[in-house]
Chain A
Amino acid sequence: MTPLIRIQREDFDVAAEVAALTSARSDIGAVVTFAGLCRDEGGRLAALELEHYPGMAEAEISRAADEAARRWPLHGLVAIHRHGLVKPGEQIVLVIAASAHRRAAFEAAEFLMDYLKTRAPFWKREHLRDGTTGDWVEAMDADDAAAQRWG
């Protein structure tokens, strides 16, 4: 099982990515997808700008995906993360975990998202509806706590 990692500016199609993972095989019994979307923060946001560290972003997500593959019996694993400007309602990130049974798929998807939020080199900045550039989004302690429970 080789994880598929993509860092891209353009949007992605969740159904197409799931189909690519599951077509032409019959050993997968569980597919968990997580899609992260851009919120408008109560109408305040015009867009989120996502800066990333090219090279390290791919490397770091690959390390996390390899770790997930060691921990759970996975048949497929996908992580796609966008960069650039993303508008409210648009997709930012996609994780798909596929396995024979649901528990491994659920846990691996959650692990990869927790890991990705705290270790993948991406930074969000707010662009506001009034046309100004807002602040860099601050990291949340809750995300660190979520990542730490995996040991």
Chain B
Amino acid sequence: MSDTAIESRTVKLVYFAWVRERVGVAEERVALPGGIATIADLVRWLKGRDEGYEAAFAVESIVRAAIDHEHVKPDASIAGASEIAFFPPMTGG
């Protein structure tokens, strides 16, 4: 492993509403390969896993993300994140 490689680590992912249905699970722990620094990086990697993820993130700009219960933008760093959530635009109220 080179000096610059980012160590593989596991993170909890949670999904809601139609993102959850397309992915097929409500939550999971995944071991992230090195080089995934942001939410956008993570989405790109997830889309490569199977058709369910591909369908969930087909229109990346629609899916919202949160890190440890706070809304974040796609360019947000996932360093130190323990729980990352993906979900559609909210429709409460």
Q: Do A and B bind each other?
A: yes
A residues lining the B interface (CB < 8 Å): 36, 50-53, 55-56, 59-60, 81, 92-93, 113, 116-125, 136-139, 143
Which B residues, 12 to 63, have Cβ-Cβ distances below 8 Å to chain A?
Answer: 14, 16-18
When the two chains form their complex, are residues A123 and B91 in contact, meaning their CB atoms are under 8 A apart?
Answer: yes
Q: Least Cβ distance of B88 to chain A in Å?
A: 6
Q: How far is the CA of A124 from the CA of B93 in the complex (A)?
A: 9
When the two chains form their complex, are residues A139 and B91 in contact, meaning their CB atoms are under 8 A apart?
Answer: yes
| A56 with B92, Cβ < 8 A, contacts A121-B16, A136-B18 known | no
Q: Which listed residue, A56, A93, A118, A125, touches B17 by the CB 8 Å rule?
A: A125
Q: How far is the CA of A145 from the CA of B70 in the complex (A)?
A: 21
When the two chains form their complex, are residues A93 and B85 in contact, meaning their CB atoms are under 8 A apart?
Answer: no
Q: How far is the CA of A81 from the CA of B90 in the complex (A)?
A: 13
When the two chains form their complex, are residues B88 and A117 in contact, meaning their CB atoms are under 8 A apart?
Answer: no
Across the A-B interface, the 6 shortest Cβ-Cβ residue pairs: A122-B92, A139-B89, A117-B93, A123-B17, A56-B69, A137-B91
When the two chains form their complex, are residues A121 and B93 in contact, meaning their CB atoms are under 8 A apart?
Answer: no
When the two chains form their complex, are residues A122 and B85 in contact, meaning their CB atoms are under 8 A apart?
Answer: no
A contact residues around B93 at 8 Å (CB): 36, 81, 92-93, 113, 116-117, 120, 122, 143
Q: How far is the CA of A23 from the CA of B85 in the complex (A)?
A: 40
B residues lining the A interface (CB < 8 Å): 14, 16-18, 66, 69-71, 85, 87-93
B contact residues around A124 at 8 Å (CB): 91-92
When the two chains form their complex, are residues A117 and B92 in contact, meaning their CB atoms are under 8 A apart?
Answer: yes
In the complex, residue of chain A having the shortest beta-carbon distance to the beta carbon of B64: A121
When the two chains form their complex, are residues A53 and B18 in contact, meaning their CB atoms are under 8 A apart?
Answer: no
When the two chains form their complex, are residues B92 and A116 in contact, meaning their CB atoms are under 8 A apart?
Answer: yes
A contact residues around B69 at 8 Å (CB): 53, 55-56, 59-60
In the complex, residue of chain A having the shortest beta-carbon distance to the beta carbon of B20: A51
Q: Least Cβ distance of B48 to chain A in Å?
A: 25
Q: How far is the CA of A119 from the CA of B12 in the complex (A)?
A: 22
When the two chains form their complex, are residues B91 and A121 in contact, meaning their CB atoms are under 8 A apart?
Answer: no
When the two chains form their complex, are residues A53 and B92 in contact, meaning their CB atoms are under 8 A apart?
Answer: no
When the two chains form their complex, are residues A50 and B92 in contact, meaning their CB atoms are under 8 A apart?
Answer: yes
When the two chains form their complex, are residues A123 and B66 in contact, meaning their CB atoms are under 8 A apart?
Answer: no
When the two chains form their complex, are residues A120 and B90 in contact, meaning their CB atoms are under 8 A apart?
Answer: yes
| A81 with B85, Cβ < 8 A, contacts A56-B66, A59-B69, A136-B18 known | no
